Amino acid sequence: MSKEYRFPEGFWWGSATSAVQIEGAADEDGKGMNVWDYWYQKEPNRFFNGIGSQVTSDFYHRYKEDIKLMKELGHNSFRFSISWSRLIPGGTGKVNEKAVEFYNNVINELLENGIEPFATLFHFDMPIEMQNIGGFENRKVVEYFAEYAKTCFELFGDRVKRWITFNEPIVPVLGGYLYNFHYPDIVDFKRAVQFGYGTVLASARAIEEFKKLKINDAKIGIVLNLSPVYPRSNHPADLKAAELADLFHNRSFLDPSVKGEYPKELVEVLKAYNHLPEYKEEDLELIKDNTVQYLGVNYYQPLRVKAKENMPNPYGVFTPNWFYDEYIMPGRRMNPYRGWEIYEKGIYDLLKRIKDEYGNIECFISENGMGVEGEERFIKDGIIQDDYRIEFIKEHLKWVHKAIEEGCNVKGYHVWTFMDNWSWLNAYKNRYGLVAIDLKTQKRTIKKSGYWFKEVAENNGFVD
């Protein structure tokens, strides 16, 4: 029996990406250096196959043909990010007119092709000068960010109606200050917490500037990578482990962004271990008064946890893993290339929770996708036959559809990503695109999933 999955009228079909991952032109037209440019210069061996972010997918020079291709693949929306270090080299001071011209061209081209632009202000790419003075640990940087945000709203707000302050703000915290996969590659929980807190402040300050400008029919939100946390069992120790993992990984940004306050349980844990950030009372008012107007949900995998098997080393590094162990569930389905579990129902559980616990705030799936290594193995008649990607997207969409049927306020679905892009330390190891990129020639070729996605978008759903 086939079933029809129709989505609400005006549903956003599209994809997401970021400046560093597709633009290239890393040192052209007056762009400043960001943390990735700097780290690659310092330690190129850390990057898969030694590939840095100089050229990536060359969107900077090819945006016109790429946007035409997006239209061809049924996009009515597209999330990209503005590079702080391109727009304001060094993070503060003079605006780079070449960058203004580029982003104006991209936005206008999207609109001319009937594609709604979603602009992210920060996607992991701190200007190196800002990081050198502590990044968001430093209140000055929080203010420089607010200035940068205001500049973006003033320059592009007449056409961009959907803004995002941060993409996955927890990732630079975990990667840069605890688990060694982002610059500055420091391991220090106290600094991690301070950086995370500064990020929440920076987001609230950007929202404050946005509201002052009273841009007609525009909204500002945040994109969070959320993972439903599942305990191994209903044993109280497993349940407690799951509650703590959820506090650190989901609620640390979700609660202040949507509810305007930190979960008191998280505050108590940080206090007990003497890891509260330095803060001012008026900060808490700022956070309370500047919550997001909508939420982007990036979903890739669940988090399964159990109670600790062993006591943490009292002299070791304090991390969230003091409170739980990851649980490897027998029989779980894996994407072996990325090491991530594939669990489609997780997307439904997240959306239901947002409905029940976060006021059913307007939201959309801002990223969901599958990275696979060596996709050239699947070329037939010149096209990558990525049926696994079609299956992945389709099965997630079924659960999104169910959530909408049950009253969840979901406005769209953006796949990660439009075309193969550069993924931080992993560079081009795993390919995520609906469109393949030949790194030598920069030739674009639509994959089977791209043609499938076009049909889904044009029919506003599918039959399965």
Catalytic residue IDs: 367
CB of 305 closer than 8 Å to CB of 323: no
User: What Å distances lie between residue 253 and 123, 225, 263, 296, 407, CA to CA?
Assistant: 15, 10, 10, 12, 24
Q: Inter-axis angle of helices 139-156 and 189-213, to 10 degrees?
A: 30
Token duo for residue 206: 């950007």
One-letter amino acid at 412 equals: G
- Measure the CA–CA gap between 53 and 30, rounded to whole angstroms: 16
User: What Å distances lie between residue 286 and 66, 151, 200, 344, 462, CA to CA?
Assistant: 40, 20, 10, 37, 44
